[in-house]
């Protein structure tokens, strides 16, 4: 069947001339390296070392480690020991971990593994948006500008510590396959669309839900707007996409369904108010070129400014939908998507998010309406491509216009980036890595209120991969919370019996992290129980002990089961 793009322009066929991809791949890679410097220049030695940054490093390293050593136990992450299926306590990041697996297998460097995937996420996102807009407009120049506007927008730069929020490529990729399917419906294209949706879900559950909503909405709108659709073939292909996507995502969905049923975990809609956009959010940006806007943003909650190029040309592209809506279903689609996403981003008080929360399966896992701002960015980026393609067709010297607009888009993406040197592995952890299996208790054990401080223990565990008692995640298991008071005072009679019962064999003490008065009490307890905790190694910062306490009898009343 002949393809007729819904934009009415000559199609761009990515698969026909592979050489067409060389320049975009090289160009977007170079741009990512430049904009992500100095991280991109020293990927093995720099990192974000705040709580979320350390969590992401551990998460990607764990998935990469598990996939290359024991893939059947990937869900049994080495946190909250002895609990199981602990990877499901937060975003699993299976796709990012899969991409990092060969890097980690060769280097065993968790910083390098994460950082190379981080850089690749920008390149893949740009390539996906480039392919989408090039297909819709038949113009690679418009595709390149849209790609920069989307992949290097302020929102993603504000979330360099959250690898899952950088995995955006599946959104434009799913839309690309949807448009190809709607132009020439077939089972093959239905399969491609289903796989794209599934890939996005494995990359980021948030964006997976967004992608399903996007394609569902687009399916209904195109059925209403496009009179040239072969509806029988169209609906058949869409059904194939739905079946394929559901089948591929089923293992992931079953894990989280089991987790939800066993723990009762769900995010109340009231919590979403804390993570909703406000008008100032759409003015806020940390880029150098946007600094003058911050004074107008007021008390903004998130960085959502789409950029000057995306805003100006996106609004210009929106005008196409109002001038000739029947001839421009693509423009109508993305204007509508942008408006609806904007509405949803303002959270439950605006109404739409509340409706989605109550009706869409899986929505109770979400808590941040503000992330719908990325869909606003996506819509504006596509509309930007439509406007630029239209502009270039009417200009005598299009190369000058392309160079100027692309230069503005690149320049306004620059923002100050600060990273810290990756910490060296303490000798104590190297010793621990060589010891027999057993759980590890790291001290001090921070309370639930300060649980994010435990991410340094999670990051340190990448040196030995033994299971650790503590941890940090979106969900904190009740047993771990209940044991905070018991284990926090280690060593005591009660805590020694508990760790022996749980199979915790080692304790790593960060003595300098205790306040002075608690440090003295710690030293007293270490002397009191010196026959039950044997020193194994010590460095300037850490002390490693082996717990020798015999396990208490089954059903002992002195331990938490």
Q: Is 107 exposed, middle or buried (0-12, 13-18, 19+ CB in 10 A)?
A: middle
Q: Are residues 509 and 372 in the same domain?
A: no
Q: Are residues 384 and 431 in the same domain?
A: no
Q: Are residues 71 and 105 in the same domain?
A: yes
pLDDT band at 327 (very low <50, low <70, confident <90, very high): low
C-alpha distances in Å from residue 338, one per residue of 179, 189, 262, 320, 380: 17, 25, 37, 14, 7
Residue pair 131/139 in contact by the 8 Å Cβ criterion: no
Whole-number Å distance between alpha carbons of 237 and 222 = 14
Among 411, 438, 466, where does a domain finish? 411
Task: Choose among 545, 532, 519, 517: nearest CA to 442.
Answer: 545
Q: Are residues 489 and 341 in the same domain?
A: no
Q: Are residues 336 and 195 in the same domain?
A: yes
Average pLDDT of the segment spanning 154-168? 97
Beta-bridge partners for 440: 468, 506
Q: Are residues 385 and 447 in the same domain?
A: no
* DSSP codes of every residue in 382-444: HHHHHHHHHHHHT-S-HHHHHHHHHHHHHHTT------EEPPPPPHHHHHHHHSPS-EEEEES
Q: How crowded is residue 550: how many other Cβ atoms within 10 Å of its Cβ?
A: 10
Q: Evaluate if residue 333 carries a pLDDT over 50.
A: yes
Average pLDDT of the segment spanning 10-17? 48
Residue pair 552/498 in contact by the 8 Å Cβ criterion: no
Q: Are residues 257 and 372 in the same domain?
A: yes
Model confidence over 459-468: pLDDT tens digits? 999 999 999 9
* DSSP codes of every residue in 198-238: HHHHHH-HHHHHHHHHHHHHHHHHHHHH-TT--HHHHHHHH
Q: Structural domain of residue 483, as residue ranges?
A: 427-547
- Specify the pLDDT at position 226: 87
What is the DSSP-derived secondary structure letter of residue 394?
T
Residue 167 lies in a domain: yes
Question: 88 or 227: whose pLDDT is higher?
Answer: 88
- Specify the pLDDT at position 178: 98
Average pLDDT of the segment spanning 174-192? 97
Within 8 A by CB and 6+ apart from 145, the residues are 309, 313, 384, 385, 388, 402, 405, 406, 409
Q: Evaluate if residue 9 carries a pLDDT over 60.
A: no
State whether the Cα torsion 248-119-475-204 is positive or negative: negative
Average pLDDT of the segment spanning 201-229? 93
- Specify the pLDDT at position 377: 98
Model confidence over 532-552: pLDDT tens digits? 999 999 999 899 999 999 887
Number of independent structural domains in the chain: 2
Give CA angle at 199 (376, 461), nearest 5°: 100
- Specify the pLDDT at position 1: 37
Q: Is 31 exposed, middle or buried (0-12, 13-18, 19+ CB in 10 A)?
A: buried
Model confidence over 118-132: pLDDT tens digits? 999 999 999 999 999
Q: Which helix (DSSP H) or strand (DSSP E) does residue 543 occupy?
A: strand 543-547
Q: What percent of the chain has a predicted confidence (pLDDT) above 90?
A: 77
Q: Are residues 165 and 66 in the same domain?
A: yes
Average pLDDT of the segment spanning 165-176? 98
Residue 278 lies in a domain: yes
Q: Are residues 373 and 484 in the same domain?
A: no
- Specify the pLDDT at position 11: 45
Among 354, 385, 411, where does a domain finish? 411
* DSSP codes of every residue in 11-39: PP-TTT-GGGGHHHHHHHHHHHHHHTTTG
Within 8 A by CB and 6+ apart from 129, the residues are 143, 146, 147, 150, 151, 172, 378, 381, 382
- Specify the pLDDT at position 10: 44
Q: Are residues 255 and 359 in the same domain?
A: yes
Within 8 A by CB and 6+ apart from 302, the residues are 155, 158, 275, 277, 281, 284, 370, 373
Residue 559 lies in a domain: no
Model confidence over 363-380: pLDDT tens digits? 777 889 999 999 999 999
Secondary structure tally for the chain: helices H, strands E: 24, 6
Residue pair 340/217 in contact by the 8 Å Cβ criterion: yes
Q: Are residues 404 and 444 in the same domain?
A: no
What's the start-to-end Cα distance of the chain, in Å?
64
Among 364, 383, 411, where does a domain finish? 411
Q: Evaluate if residue 15 carries a pLDDT over 60.
A: no
Length reported for the chain = 561
- Specify the pLDDT at position 161: 96
- Specify the pLDDT at position 109: 98
Model confidence over 400-453: pLDDT tens digits? 999 999 999 999 999 989 999 999 999 999 999 999 999 999 999 988 777 778
- Specify the pLDDT at position 17: 59
Residue 341 lies in a domain: yes
Task: Choose among 342, 344, 397, 333: nearest CA to 369.
Answer: 344
Look up the pTM and report it.
0.93
Q: Are residues 269 and 297 in the same domain?
A: yes
- Token pair for residue 328? 């421009």
- 149-158, 263-272, 495-504: which range is least confident on average? 263-272
Residue 11 lies in a domain: no
Whole-number Å distance between alpha carbons of 494 and 460 = 27
Q: How crowded is residue 347: how many other Cβ atoms within 10 Å of its Cβ?
A: 25
Residue 422 lies in a domain: no
Residue 156 lies in a domain: yes
- Token pair for residue 461? 């565990």
Whole-number Å distance between alpha carbons of 385 and 392 = 10
Average pLDDT of the segment spanning 341-354? 94
What is the DSSP-derived secondary structure letter of residue 424?
P
Whole-number Å distance between alpha carbons of 111 and 100 = 10
- Specify the pLDDT at position 451: 77
- Token pair for residue 303? 């960085």
- Token pair for residue 79? 């946190």
- Token pair for residue 331? 């423009």
C-alpha distances in Å from residue 144, one per residue of 131, 147, 245, 392: 9, 5, 29, 13
Angle formed by the axes of helices 329-345 and 205-225, nearest 10°: 140
Residue pair 110/44 in contact by the 8 Å Cβ criterion: no
Compute the mean pLDDT over every residue in the chain, rounded to the nearest whole number.
Answer: 92
Residue 254 lies in a domain: yes
C-alpha distances in Å from residue 231, one per residue of 77, 178, 217, 238: 46, 14, 16, 10
Q: Evaluate if residue 203 carries a pLDDT over 80.
A: yes
Helix (H, G, I), strand (E, B) or coil at 536: strand
Give CA angle at 364 (363, 370), nearest 5°: 65
């Amino acid at each position: 069947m002949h393809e007729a793009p819904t934009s009415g322009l000559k199609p761009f066929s990515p698969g026909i001339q592979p050489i067409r991809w060389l320049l975009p791949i090289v160009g977007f890679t170079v741009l990512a390296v430049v904009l992500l410097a100095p991280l991109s220049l020293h990927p093995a030695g720099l990192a974000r070392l705040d709580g979320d940054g350390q969590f992401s490093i551990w998460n990607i390293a764990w998935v990469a480690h598990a996939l290359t050593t024991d893939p059947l136990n990937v869900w049994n992450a080495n946190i909250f020991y002895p609990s199981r299926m602990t990877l499901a306590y937060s975003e699993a990041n299976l796709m990012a971990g899969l991409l990092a697996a060969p890097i980690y297998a060769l280097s065993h460097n968790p910083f390098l593994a994460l950082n190379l995937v981080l850089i690749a996420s920008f390149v893949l996102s740009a390539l996906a948006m480039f392919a989408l807009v090039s297909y819709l407009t038949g113009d690679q120049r418009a595709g390149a500008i849209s790609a920069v506007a989307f992949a290097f927008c302020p929102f993603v730069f504000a979330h360099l510590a959250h690898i899952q929020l950088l995995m955006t490529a599946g959104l434009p990729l799913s839309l690309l396959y949807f448009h190809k399917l709607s132009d020439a419906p077939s089972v093959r294209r239905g399969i491609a669309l289903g796989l794209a949706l599934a890939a996005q879900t494995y990359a980021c559950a948030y964006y997976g839900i967004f992608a399903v909503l996007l394609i569902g909405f687009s399916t209904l709108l195109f059925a209403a707007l496009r009179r040239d659709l072969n509806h029988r073939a169209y609906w058949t292909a869409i059904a194939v996409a739905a079946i394929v996507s559901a089948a591929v995502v089923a293992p992931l969905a079953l894990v989280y369904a089991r987790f939800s049923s066993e723990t009762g975990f769900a995010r109340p809609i009231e919590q979403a108010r804390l993570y909703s956009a406000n008008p100032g959010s759409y003015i806020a940006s940390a880029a150098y070129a946007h600094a003058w806007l911050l004074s107008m943003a007021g008390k903004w909650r998130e960085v959502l400014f789409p950029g000057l190029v995306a805003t100006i040309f996106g609004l210009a592209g929106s005008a196409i939908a109002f001038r000739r809506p029947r001839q421009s279903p693509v423009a109508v689609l993305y204007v509508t998507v942008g408006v609806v996403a904007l509405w949803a981003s303002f959270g439950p008080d605006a109404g739409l998010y509340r409706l989605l929360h109550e009706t869409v399966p899986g929505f109770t896992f979400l808590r941040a309406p503000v992330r719908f701002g990325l869909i606003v960015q996506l819509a504006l980026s596509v509309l930007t491509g439509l406007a630029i393609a239209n502009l270039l067709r009417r200009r005598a010297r299009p190369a000058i216009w392309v160079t100027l607009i692309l230069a503005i888009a690149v320049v306004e993406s620059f923002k100050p980036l600060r990273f810290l040197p990756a910490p060296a592995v303490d000798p104590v952890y190297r010793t621990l890595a060589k010891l027999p299996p057993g759980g590890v208790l790291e001290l001090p054990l921070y309370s639930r209120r300060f649980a994010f401080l435990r991410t340094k223990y999670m990051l340190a565990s990448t040196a030995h991969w033994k299971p650790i008692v503590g941890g940090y995640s979106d969900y904190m298991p009740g047993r771990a919370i209940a044991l905070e008071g018991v284990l926090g005072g280690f060593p005591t009679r009660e805590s020694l019996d508990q760790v022996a019962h749980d199979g915790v064999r080692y304790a790593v003490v960060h003595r300098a992290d205790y306040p002075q008065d608690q440090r003295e009490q710690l030293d007293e307890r270490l002397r009191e129980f010196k026959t039950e905790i044997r020193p194994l190694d010590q460095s300037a910062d850490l002390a490693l002990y082996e717990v020798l306490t015999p396990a208490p009898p089954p059903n002992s009343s002195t331990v938490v089961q």
